[in-house]
Amino acid sequence: MLYQRLFAAGLLLACLCLGTIAWGFHAPFSYEPVGPRAYPLMLLILLALGALVLLIKPALESSPSDEPALTKPMLVKVAVCLALLLALASLFETLGFVPSAILFALGMARLFGGRWLPSVVLAVVLGVGLYFLFDRILDVPLPLGVLSDLEI
């Protein structure tokens, strides 16, 4: 339970810091219906609520004996997950949302033991589906990158 509480406290602190930064987001012109700070603040509020639940009652579905030890394979998974997140952030604009989201989802699915075919199908559906959700339904422009020639 100690690791869960430390993680929750760190996540809550990060949410508070990022929330104060996101509160200052202002656009000189309105390019989105809700403005640039709505999405980061909504996500940070959800993360903070989850962190509060973990901080107050960390063992909702487990007992103290269920907490895994910090082994080398687990630390490697954490490092690979962080590398995938950094790759997503760095390739987002140059490669585009759809290809970078597909690569990220495929890497995460394989990291957690997914088979190749279901992982590829899920990654493609997730990348394309999220693009259409944000670009067409929520009217949030996302970079197409290498797929910019396919824009309708």
24 secondary structure, DSSP code = T
Same domain assignment for residues 63 and 79: no
Q: Are 139 and 145 in contact (CB under 8 A)?
A: no
Q: What is the mean pLDDT of each run of 10 residues along the chain (152 residues)?
A: 81 88 72 67 88 76 64 88 89 86 92 92 92 81 72 60
In the listed set 13, 48, 67, which residue is the last one of a domain according to the structure? 67
Question: The whole model's pTM is what?
Answer: 0.62
Total domains present in the chain: 2
Q: Are 98 and 120 in contact (CB under 8 A)?
A: no
Same domain assignment for residues 20 and 76: no
Residue-range definition of the domain harbouring residue 83: 69-152
Same domain assignment for residues 76 and 55: no
Q: How far is CA 53 from CA 11, 57, 61, 124, in A?
A: 12, 6, 12, 33
